[in-house]
Amino acid sequence: MHKILSFLLSLTITLSSYAFTATDKPIQVIVPFAPGGTVDIIFREFQLYATSKGITMIGLYKPGALGVIGLQELTSSTPDGNSIALSLIDSVAAYKISTGKVMNPDHILFLHQSVFAFVVKADSNLNSVEDVVAKMKENKKGVSIGFSTPIQGVITTEVFVKQAKVSEDRVILVNYGKGGAQIISDVIGGHLDIGLAALAQFDSQIKAGKLKAIAVDSTHRLKLYPEVHTLISTYPKLPPINRGICLLINTSTPEQVAFWKKFVSDYKESPRFIARESTEFYEIKTLSPADITKTILENETLLRTLQAKE
């Protein structure tokens, strides 16, 4: 009898963790970037996983201002736990700078850090970062590199200006502020020399033979792209730059926070996610509220430094 009661109690706890969503009202997921980008890719995976659990998620796209517009939409919604956002951690830092408001770190659930990749057109004669550096130094017109977030701009500057010692006027940074989808078409179309974004976003075009990865910022070579060098192997002194995708909750109760923590944990451990070939494109992490606060501060410092240079 004791074992039966214990089982029923554990079952009740498990089911109750999903209880507050057991209404006809779907979960509104704010995506603060344009469709087709990295965050949108994650949202669609999240949406499929939620559907498998009987939870309906509807995306609301609010691009602009490095995600600040979308986060303002989230914080102005009713704090009932039915409105969430999938965003970049640097968007949270930008929100703090823009509004002066600090989001509760306990309501920010870190998912993972995406692996970034530098890509070129498939038939390009550029095959490595060293090739790009050589072209930058030889070509007075410089080399254009497209990116979609300030952190990617920082990484580009760190690699080519600080590590490779290329003159800044040879590194032509092109900011695609609303998302990285346009970077793909511009590299393929020859309007842009190099693109930098999450490898997951480039993967299908690489496999289709339209793009070619020349470097990734992972700590090791990837099984899917073993021939592609890592940035750290080329520049061992390259400092780590924390960034990543997180789930943000607008809620007023501990029960709703507990629900979303369980949902995120189950998602990261789900067979579907683990079995995905591209899982190695993500460095799975679980950061504590203190770690979240520290990471936001690091990104805030970077963004303020960039603002000062403009």
CATH number at residue 254: 3.40.190.150
Q: pLDDT class for 19, splitting at 50, 70, 90?
A: very low
One domain for residues 228 and 127: yes
Is 23 strand, coil or helix? coil
Mean pLDDT across 191-215: 94
The residue from 234, 269, 285 where one domain ends is 234
* pLDDT exceeds 90 at position 193: yes
Q: pLDDT class for 24, splitting at 50, 70, 90?
A: low
The residue from 175, 199, 234 where one domain ends is 234
pLDDT digits (tens, 9 = 90+) for 242-280: 778 899 999 888 999 999 999 999 998 888 777 776 677
Residues 248 and 90: their CA atoms lie apart, in Å, by 13
Residues 129 and 302: their CA atoms lie apart, in Å, by 24
Long-range contacts of range 24-28, CB-CB < 8 Å, 24 or more positions apart? Answer: 25/82, 26/56, 26/57, 26/58, 26/82, 27/55, 27/56, 27/57, 27/58, 27/82, 27/83, 27/84, 28/57, 28/58, 28/60, 28/77, 28/82, 28/83, 28/84
Residues 41 and 60: their CA atoms lie apart, in Å, by 14
One domain for residues 64 and 165: no
* pLDDT computed for residue 309 by the predictor: 66
* pLDDT computed for residue 2 by the predictor: 45
One domain for residues 26 and 108: yes
Beta strands 245-251 and 80-88 are: antiparallel
Q: Please give the model's pTM, rounded to 2 decimal places.
A: 0.75
Mean pLDDT across 5-24: 43
Residues 275 and 48: their CA atoms lie apart, in Å, by 14
* pLDDT exceeds 60 at position 22: no
CATH number at 162 reads 3.40.190.10
Residues 225 and 200: their CA atoms lie apart, in Å, by 12
Q: pLDDT class for 12, splitting at 50, 70, 90?
A: very low
Indicate the helix (H) or strand (E) that contains 215.
strand 211-216
Number of other CB atoms surrounding residue 178 within 10 Å: 16
* pLDDT computed for residue 277 by the predictor: 66
Mean pLDDT across 22-27: 68
Number of domains in the chain: 2
* pLDDT computed for residue 65 by the predictor: 86
Q: What's the mean per-residue pLDDT of the chain?
A: 86
- Identify the domain containing residue 266 by its residue range: 2-114+243-309
pLDDT digits (tens, 9 = 90+) for 55-106: 999 999 999 888 999 999 999 998 988 899 999 988 999 999 999 999 999 9
